[in-house]
Structure formats: C-alpha cells, structure tokens
Structure 1
Amino acid sequence: MKYYLIAGERSGDTHAAHLLRELKSQDPGADFRYWGGDQMEAEGGHLVRHYRELAVMGFWETATSLLKFRGFLKQCQADILAYRPDVLILVDYGGFNLRMAAWAKAHGIRVFYYISPKIWAWNQSRVEKIKALVDKMFVILPFESEFYQRFEYKVDYIGNPTADEVAAFQQDPNFMAQHGLDPERKIIAVLPGSRKQEIEEMLHEMLAVLPAFQDYQFVVAAVSNLDRAYYAHFERNGIKLVFDQAYDLLSRASAALVTSGTATLETALFGVPQVVCYRTSGLTYMIGKAVIKVPYISLVNLIVGRTVVEEFIQGDFTARNLLDELKRLLTDEAYIAKQKAGYAELREKLGQHNAARQAAALMINYLGEKQAAA
C-alpha cells in the first residue's frame, strides 16, 4: 500500500518514524512519501519537505505566517494528487493537518489521524469537523478516548508512544565523557523546547538561576534542527550543551527545568523531579487564556488530573520562582517523594501498549477491510 504522512514538528517526526518502521514490518509492500524530518527519512521513503520549515507556535505567530502556509498547503495537495496514496496519515499539527483532512475528504482520499490535535484544550467545536473528515482517529492520551466519546465519535486508544520510547531507551555509556561532564557533580537538565521561538522566550530565564546552584552542572538539551551557532551565546559559566540526547541527559539528571510540551511527559517517565515553564507573546497569551479549556498546561498534570508538577506560566515564569522551586526539588525529600508518587500514577494510567505497532496493525486492517468492501 501507498502511505502519505504529514508531521509538522520534531516530536511528530519521532512518533511517525516509529509508525513507519512498524508499517514496513507488517506491510512488506509499503511505499512512503511524507512531510517530516530526519528520523522519518532514516526509515526510508521520500521526504518531500522538512518540518523545520513549518514549525510555528502561537496564535499571533501562526496568523502572520498564513501566506507561507497557504503555499505549503497547495504544494502538499499537488504532491498527494501526483502520488495517489491509499491513505493520508496526519500526525498531530492540527492547524495544517485539519486543512489537509478537509481537502483530502473532498478528493476521496482516506484519512487517518495518528496522535490527535489538542482540540480538548481549546476549540472543542472542531470535534464535529474531525468526525466529518477523519476516517479513523488514533489517540495516545487516556483521557482523549473519554473526550471523543462525549461527542459520540469512536477512536482507538493505542497507548502512548513516548512511554514506549522511554521504556526501550538504553544509556550511551560514553555520554558523560563525550560531553566533558563531571561524574561527581549532579546534573540539572534544562529543556527549553525545540523551536527557536520557544527557546528565545525560555532559555535566558531558565539559566538565570545558575549562580545559586554552583555545586551542580547545568546541561541544556539542544536540537540539531537549529543551527549550533544559535546556541553559542548560551555556552558560558560552565553551561554545557548536548544535541539530540535528551534521554541520556534525563536518565542522569537530579532535577529539570522543562518547557511545556512532550518533554514534561518524558521527564516524568524518567522519574526526574521537574518544574514546568511556559511563556509566549503577550497577544498569544491573552488569546490563549480566553479560549483554553483545560486547567493545566503540562501533560503530566493533565493525565493524572491534578497538580503533580508546578507550572510557571507567563508572568509567574520568573527566575525567583524557578530558584525557589528548584531548591525544593533538590533538597525537600518529602516534596520529591510526593512528585514521584504522582509519576507512578502517570505510568499506571498510560500503561505499556507498544503504540506504533498497535496503530500500524489497526491501520493495515482498516485499509484491508476497505479494499475488501470495494
């Protein structure tokens, strides 16, 4: 079968790459074409456009990029028509991918959605659009099944791919020596995000607490989809950078400062005490505050359903607040134990399902049923 995938962000590239691997394993005749990234490309098929060209965050920032996005939409649509896939598989990235779903439906192309866009957080009216446009939805958060059920839309919960990836991770034994890290000093991991807009908002504030923690090593999880030179001015006062090795970093960290996103879930699954941070432009924040329908921004708190990790958002995201919270995460044993008990609840709720394998099996089965019916 012929599969066309669209992943518009780094985390989507990771999850889609594992899905590609499973589809290849279960469908020997599989052929792939996609918008994605390096990890998908490593699995074979044809990379049409890299996600680094698509990554934009925030309501205002997205609005100012509309002309560019319209051009991308037209390019993607023309490429799909030329390729004529059996199915279009959309991976998260709701703004772009829901437009592609509408177009695909109008052109009689079957649409699967792997990893639901976060419509439960805002603009829940999009459920009706998804019901009309998406043939099969595969969700990775336990509460998403219940959310869609309220709208009488049946979805498949296939487990959480991040939980699978963390469970399968094996440490690089050369990590510490390779990056010149002191094995005798504890590590504070700094995860500022993977998009330039995020990093510009987050990293300076995160690193402002460093003078109060001279006995620790601050190590920043950097990403290679951004130019290494961009990070150069952060390499000061003993701050270390590691590229594309966040799991090796987290597996050795004593605490972490984390930008809201998938990294909060990864940090929790590694059992690392963390504080979650987020800041965006003033206009984006005002719009977001008016429309967001959930009480938390971190996946950890959302999945468990209560405050497990502290969240510092917008005006609360200050060096003073970070300093106080980080001290608690490093020294208050009762506070640390309470957070780790929440992490245990999180793991229980997520379970172990091998999400990519389940999704691939279901997709192939659904496509086979469609062909049989035809």
Structure 2
Amino acid sequence: MRIFISTGEVSGDLQGSLLIAALKRQAAAANLELEIVALGGEKMLEAGATLLGNTSSIGSMGILESLPYILPTIKVQRQAIAYLKQNPPDLVVLIDYMGPNIGIGTYMQQHLPGVPIVYYIAPQEWVWAVNVRNTARIVSFTDKLLAIFPEEARYFRGKGAKVSWVGHPLVDRMQDAPSRQEARAKLGIAPEQTAIALLPASRRQELKYLLPVIFQAAQTIQAKLPEVHFWIPLSLDIYRQPIEQAIERYGLRATVVSGQQKKQVFAAVDFAITKSGTVNLELALLNVPQVVVYRLHPITVWIARKILKGSIPFASPPNLVVMKQIVPEFLQEQATPENITQAVMELLLNPERRQQTLADYKEMRQCLGEVGVCDRAAQEILQMLPKTRDWGLGIGH
C-alpha cells in the first residue's frame, strides 16, 4: 500500500515523522506492507519515507514574507503532482502547509477522485480565516479530517467536514523527556544557575524580525541577573552561523546546541523567550514558563489589519487551546525588548505568577487528549485505505 504524505516547514517535518513511525507500527500489527512517499524533511526521511522534495525550509508567515518562497513552492508542488500522476497512491495524507496542500488536494479531487484524502492537522483557518473559501476547499476534497485541537474539530465539523478529534501529537512526544535533574546534569547546569532558553527562529524571516528583539531583551536580563546562562537549540543547522554571530554582537553568555538536544534543554531550563509556534506547546507540556514574541513585516500587518480586516484572538497554541491568555504574548509593536524583559523578570521572580502559569498549563494539558495520539491518527488513516476495508484486517475499532 502506497501512502503519499505532504507537509512543509520544521514543525510539519516533526509531525510527519511521528505519524510515519505510528503508521509503521500499526501496519506491522495488521500485516500490511506500507510504502511512504513524501514532501517533508530530514526527520521524515529518518522515519522511513522516500522524499520527493525537502520542504522543511520552504515556508513563511505573512504576505510579503512568502514572496521569496512562491517559486520553490510551485516547483515542489509540480514535482509532487507529476509523481502522483505517474504513481497514483492508495491514500494521501496532508499535514498543515496550506498553500501547497490545497493545490495537491484540489488536483487529487479533479484527477484521481478515487484516492481517499485525510487532512491531519488542518491549517489554522479556525483561528484566522479571513474568508471561508479556503475552508470550503479543504472540506470539499477531504474525506476525513483528523483534528488535534477541540476548537479545530468544532469549526470544521460545523463547516460540513467528517472529523475525528485525535488529540495533540506532542502529548506522545513529551512522554520520554528527561527529568529536570537528569537534563541539567547532562548539560552541566549548576543547581543555582538560572537557565533560559532562547528560541528566536525556525524560519529565515524570524532571524530578521525576532532575533534582534529577543537578544536585546536577553542582554538586559543578563545585566540584571549575573548568574543567568542562555541556551539556544537550533531548529535548522543553517541558522547556527547567524545566531552565533549575534551572540557575540550582543555579548550574551549563551550555548548553541543542535535540534536533537532541544528536549533536554526544555527539561532543564527555568524559562523561555520564544517565537510563537509548536514550540510553545512543547514548553508548556514540560511546565516551562515562557514569553511569546512575534513580528511580521509592517506592510504585511497593515494589509492584514486594514484590507483583510484580520484579527486573531491569540498567536500561541497554549493560549489558543484554552482561548485565554495563559502565556504573555507580545506581537508586532508590543514586541519590544522592554516589554519582554519586564514580563520575564516578573515571571522569574514572582512565585505566585509562576504557580498560576503551572495551574493554567495543567488546564491546557487536559484539552490535548490522552497519550496514544499518533497511534489513534495512524489507525484512522489505515482504515481509509481501500483494501483494508475490503480485507477486514481489524485495524482500529
């Protein structure tokens, strides 16, 4: 059975790899042979997919920001469609990555209508849909939508999609995180040392818009807390050089580690200053208080506010899960070194604020589903394979 999976960016590559591992487990249990072909990144390759194109660094947030990626995106989309035309899969799984995946889904619907399509982790239209056209297209070509947030499930069900809420895959991924003591021992962090994670970028544009503000705040915090040390896990190795140059420029006491050590760093640190994204949930699941920062090109923001009339309730997933602010967010003009520093110092030095954050994290955790998310998603997907329905292989329920 051939499954084609399409996703992009660093977070999509991570989610894709977790799903591939679960698909292989579930298929082995049902004596099914799977071939997985994908658009994704290194992690999916390691999990056993054959990559048609590497999309982990093709991605952006915003209107102007996406312009440099239009041609690479079209190229990779064409590659995928040419492959699908020659080698129709038994099933297609789309993960987030809205622009390319809507193109691939629409192509499949028009040219290979017999192939089932599962959308796992739908684009966040439920948060910031400016118009419902994209939602309507997603619903029209998707046979089954696997939602990771309760709010996402409600939104798409209301629009007519066939939806299963499986829970959030990071619930599984964070199960094997080391304890704080283990992690600090491995990284050589002394008990009395304050360790803060800095997470400025998983996209190139974020090096430009977020890194300077986050590093300026870190500079001020370092002056106030002489015992502080910063830890920076890389999302992509290509960012090592610009980040190390910036550390020197701002005079920070900081250690850059590879993405493989990210979980270890998160388990060890007292706090994080971070861009908005999946990483906010990883930190929340490990009970790390955080301040979230995001900035886009001013023209993108102007267009969104004035012309598209877009307004988003929150930017970071922990706040979106419970639809209230449990972690401070500083977006656009609010994202200043002064605001970040003030919020960090308050959360670090005020035990009551810290306790409140941990209580809020606990509430959020209950909205993310039970452990076994990836296996539930894999079972739902394998049930959609045409032959497993005919053979009655006893997959899933």
Amino acid at match of 1:96: P
Q: State the match for 1:117 in structure 2.
A: 123
Once residues 189 and 210 of structure 2 are traced to their aligned partners in structure 1, the CA distance between those partners, rounded to angstroms, is 23
Amino acid at match of 2:331: I
The Cα shift of 1:153 comes to 2.2
Contact residue 153 and residue 164 of structure 2 kept, 8 A: yes
Once residues 313 and 339 of structure 2 are traced to their aligned partners in structure 1, the CA distance between those partners, rounded to angstroms, is 20
Contact residue 196 and residue 226 of structure 1 kept, 8 A: no
Q: TM-score, normalised by structure 1?
A: 0.93
* Number of aligned residue pairs: 373
Deviation digits for residues 244-292 of structure 1 (CA, Å, limit 9, x no counterpart): 1222111111111111111111111111111110011111222333443
Deviation digits for residues 280-329 of structure 1 (CA, Å, limit 9, x no counterpart): 11112223334434311111111112111111011111111111111111
Deviation digits for residues 141-166 of structure 1 (CA, Å, limit 9, x no counterpart): 11111112222323111110012211
Deviation digits for residues 180-239 of structure 1 (CA, Å, limit 9, x no counterpart): 644541201111131121122112211212233322111122223425323220333322
Once residues 366 and 173 of structure 2 are traced to their aligned partners in structure 1, the CA distance between those partners, rounded to angstroms, is 16
Aligned ranges for residues 282-321 of structure 1 at < 5 Å? 282-289=298-305, 290-321=308-339
* 1:251 equivalenced with 2:255 (yes/no): no
Q: CA, structure 1 residues 60+232, in 2 after alignment: closer, same or farther (shift >3 Å)?
A: same
Aligned ranges for residues 225-244 of structure 1 at < 5 Å? 225-236=237-248, 237-244=252-259
Q: State the match for 2:164 in structure 1.
A: 156
Once residues 300 and 136 of structure 1 are traced to their aligned partners in structure 2, the CA distance between those partners, rounded to angstroms, is 25
Q: State the match for 1:199 in structure 2.
A: 207
The Cα shift of 1:110 comes to 2.4
Q: State the match for 1:268 in structure 2.
A: 284
Contact residue 38 and residue 52 of structure 2 kept, 8 A: yes
Amino acid at match of 1:222: L
Q: TM-score, normalised by structure 2?
A: 0.88
Q: State the match for 2:135 in structure 1.
A: 127
Contact residue 52 and residue 225 of structure 1 kept, 8 A: no
Contact residue 91 and residue 384 of structure 2 kept, 8 A: no
Aligned ranges for residues 154-233 of structure 1 at < 5 Å? 154-170=162-178, 181-209=189-217, 210=219, 211-233=223-245
Once residues 20 and 263 of structure 1 are traced to their aligned partners in structure 2, the CA distance between those partners, rounded to angstroms, is 20
% of aligned pairs identical?
27
Q: RMSD of the alignment, in Å?
A: 2.2
Deviation digits for residues 41-60 of structure 1 (CA, Å, limit 9, x no counterpart): 11213112112352233211
Once residues 366 and 56 of structure 2 are traced to their aligned partners in structure 1, the CA distance between those partners, rounded to angstroms, is 34
Once residues 328 and 180 of structure 2 are traced to their aligned partners in structure 1, the CA distance between those partners, rounded to angstroms, is 30
The Cα shift of 1:178 comes to 6.5
Q: CA, structure 1 residues 99+357, in 2 after alignment: closer, same or farther (shift >3 Å)?
A: same
Q: 1:40 aligns with which of 25, 40, 44?
A: 44
The Cα shift of 1:83 comes to 2.5
Structure 2 stretches of 5 or more lacking a match?
A: 392-397
Contact residue 192 and residue 221 of structure 1 kept, 8 A: no
Contact residue 258 and residue 274 of structure 1 kept, 8 A: yes
Once residues 281 and 7 of structure 2 are traced to their aligned partners in structure 1, the CA distance between those partners, rounded to angstroms, is 20
